[in-house]
Amino acid sequence: MAKNLVIVESPAKAKTIKRYLGSDYQVMPSVGHVVDLPKSKLGVDIEHNFAPDFVTIKGKEKVLSEIKSAAKGKDNVYLASDPDREGEAIAWHISEHLGKTKSKVSRVLLHEITSAAVKEAVANPSKLDRHLFDAYQARRVLDRLVGYKLSPLLWEKVKRGISAGRVQSVALRIIVDREREREAFRAEEYWTLDARLTGKNPPPFKARLYSYKDNRIDNKAYKLPEAQAREIIAAVEKAPFTVKSVERKEVRRSPAPPFITSRLQQEASRKLYYQPRRTMQIAQKLYEGVELGEEGAVGLITYMRTDSPRVSDQALESVRNHIGSRYGKEYVPEQPNQYKSSKQSQGAHEAIRPTAVERDPESIARFLDKDMLALYTLIYNRFVSSQMMPAVYDRTTVDIESADAIFRATGQVMKFDGFMRVYIEGQDEPGEDEEGTLPLLNEGEVLTLLGLDPEQHFTQPPPRYTQATLIKVLEEQGIGRPSTYAAIMTSILRVEYVEEDESKRMRPTSLGRVVNDMLVKAFPDILESSFTAQFEEDLDKVEEGTENWVKTMKRFYGPFAKDLADAKKKMPEVKHKGLATDLKCELDGGDMVIKWGRNGEFLACSNYPKCTNTGEIARDDQGNITLKPSAPAPTDEVCEKCGKPMVKRRSRFGEFLGCSGYPDCDGIKRLQSDPVKTGVACPECKEGEILERRSRRGKIFYGCGRYPKCKFAAWNKVVPQPCPSCGANYMVEKDLKRTGITWQCANKECGYKAPAPVVAQVEPAPASTPPA
């Protein structure tokens, strides 16, 4: 019988660690948090120092019972959940549920899951960190107060079912502010002028107008107008082009540091086109362990939620030896490259790096799927390059004089590739900012003009944010932490405050604008990025033990409670009235307003219910709203009522077929949408795939794709996730009044239940308006 119990978060991690520790250790997964604040009420006792009422998560009673049973008779219980605030909270709550026990309960921090690292961590356990747990409590309680106090207010004033969140709402404000910048932007014309030249030595080259009459032309502080461009052309066409100066100097370019969480998400977006959530899901698998044939399951990277570029001495020594043996000693710096951490950085964590530099991507490629290999390669190459010598260039700058104008040409030649032999950052891919080579030129040399190329340009508005660029802004402003970035992105898209265009750039919906504007006006402090950043710093102080978490909460809650009381009285109501526009109803001349339904925003006449006119919204890049043309599309269907052709129409509930004789005939017919694949095998016939279909009355259900040969059907949403308890190939989602949205095992004999995963940092709208 095993003498020791190790508790981790995930089954995959448990499997990997069990193989390292052997028969003296039993390893069990908690499958995430075991307790949380209740969904049906606030769960925070504001009058008694904001005491949280943590309750066992539905479906986790069995997990806790099994952990308690397993702990009996053990010499040691090691709590090895993730090495961050969330992991510390899981460890703390499990410890509390174990109660008084003869076993010695210790905390184990696993920054990487390899045999040596796991054995060393277990051999050197630590105590539970009260300060780290208090930082978690403060963050969780504040997010609950913001979410459960503001969400009901938004339900009452705007739309039921929407939500607000401490970080989510600040991220939304950043997106809305950028959109308004774009709408206020007015393009300005400017011109550039290139001269095509040749000298005594080939090849021909280009030089760009740099200054005119001693005035620098950079098209930023001063934009070259067309009239002046024509004036300069007329002047230089008649004048010689003479080399005024030639400057040659050596330029060194240093490598980028190894990845931290935000940089990994940004670079994976640029190079691999992965959204942050996808990046973190793949990184989680690489961290927890991958089967490498006879070697078994091995964690391939260090912990992926970090804001520190620190690297252990052992890893530095290993990568320097690897670089020297593979690329040559000239690529190894005399001393290891050191990188500074941000002031918010958690120094205990390392950067994201391979756990063993000997496992290069080529040697393990056959064990990884396409996505895992791509991300591992990115992490591996970035880490190796971070400890290589700088790249060295010879850069030449040539100023060429003609009349009163100076043209400048630049070129560079690589002398030593250094780190660029292994890795180049996404925004610096070859071809994006590489300068060409120049011929040998000498001061005083007269050049031959081959032609002048004037080109018209227009200034561009600031670009919309992608998920990756928004994460960069959040990081720069100190908003959020590594574990929250991906969740923030998911949140603002899930609540339909933001939509992504074809290029995956985010623009706010009308609902997002309304919610943002109302919150900014009512809660100016909370919606300031500086407030959110300051609270993150306060949490760091709580974690360090220099700040009391209750005092932190009291500083926040006083002003918040006052603003909340004022907002309940003064915040305008748009839920029924709608959001005013400049459009008029084409039927009765009333004002058209924006409202929100099950299928998103739509235009409706303000004289409803007397006038039921509705329509789709069209919005241009300046934010101007128009009624989308709704000319019905003809079909081959015939109206069952009058025999006239049916046409395709659209309402706020989606597309449908309507009689072309409307309003004389009101015949309609629902459109049957194509079934959606779930990727889950049918539990009855084992051959077909479960498909998401729509019934004749428009209700979604799930049925076997082999119908009518197989008649399996179910109303509950199919979740293509294996049951963590019995391993069934899928679960079902149910919306229960008491507990909210719940995932349940499809195997009724199993009985596993758990709340559907909730996105961090954003409180879900409560099941009912919680008491004040």
DSSP string, 352-416: B-BS-TTS-HHHHGGGS-HHHHHHHHHHHHHHHHHTSPPEEEEEEEEEEEETTEEEEEEEEEEEE
Q: Which of 175, 131, 167, 164 is nearest to 484 (CA)?
A: 167
Q: Name the pairing type of β-strands 76-79 and 104-107.
A: parallel
**Which residue, chain included where needed, has tokens 């939500």?**
163
In this structure, the number of other CB atoms found within 10 A of the CB of residue 429 comes to 12
Query: What angle separates helix 276-288 from helix 370-386, to the nearest 10 degrees?
Result: 80
C-alpha–C-alpha distance, residues 516 and 500, integer Å: 18
Measured distance CA(387)–CA(655) in Å, rounded: 58
600 phi and psi angles, rounded to 5 deg? 100, -155
- C-alpha dist (Å) from residue 281 to 111, 284, 285, 298, 305: 17, 5, 7, 17, 12
Q: Alpha helix locations (H) across 209-351? A: 226-236, 261-272, 276-288, 313-327
| Residue 193 near residue 208 (C-beta atoms within 8 A) | yes
Measured from the Cβ of residue 705, the count of other Cβ atoms closer than 10 Å reads 18
What's the one-letter identity of residue 113? I
Q: Reduced to 3 states, what is the DSSP secondary structure of residue 715?
A: coil
Measured in whole angstroms, how far is the alpha carbon of residue 663 from the centre of its chain?
Answer: 48
Distance CA 588, CA 610 (A): 10
Determine whether 557 is an active site residue: no
Q: What is the DSSP string of 481-541?
A: -TTTHHHHHHHHHHTTSEEE-TTS-EEE-HHHHHHHHHHHHH-TTTTSHHHHHHHHHHHHH
Contact 751, 724 (CB under 8 A): no
Q: Per the structure block, which two tokens stand in for 636?
A: 């081959």
Q: Are 676 and 689 in contact (CB under 8 A)?
A: no
Token pair 């199919």 is found at 718
Under 8 Å between Cβ of 386 and 331: no
By the 8 A CB rule, do 155 and 571 touch? no
Looking at residue 261, the DSSP 8-state letter turns out to be H
DSSP, res 112: B
CA 10 to CA 385: how far, in whole Å? 32
Alpha helices (H) in 158-260, listed in sequence order: 166-184, 226-236
Range 431-439 contact pairs with CB under 8 angstroms and sequence separation of 24 or more: 435/395, 435/410, 435/411, 436/205, 436/411, 437/411, 437/412, 437/413, 438/205, 438/396, 438/398, 438/409, 438/410, 438/411, 439/198, 439/199, 439/201, 439/202, 439/203, 439/205
H or E segment at 14?
A: helix 11-21
> H or E element: which one contains 86?
helix 85-98
- Give the CA radius of gyration of the chain: 31
The token pair that represents 91 in the structure block = 């460890």
Which is catalytic among the residues 20, 303, 465, 497? Answer: 303
Cis-peptide, bond into residue 629, ω within 30° of zero: no
Catalytic residues: 303
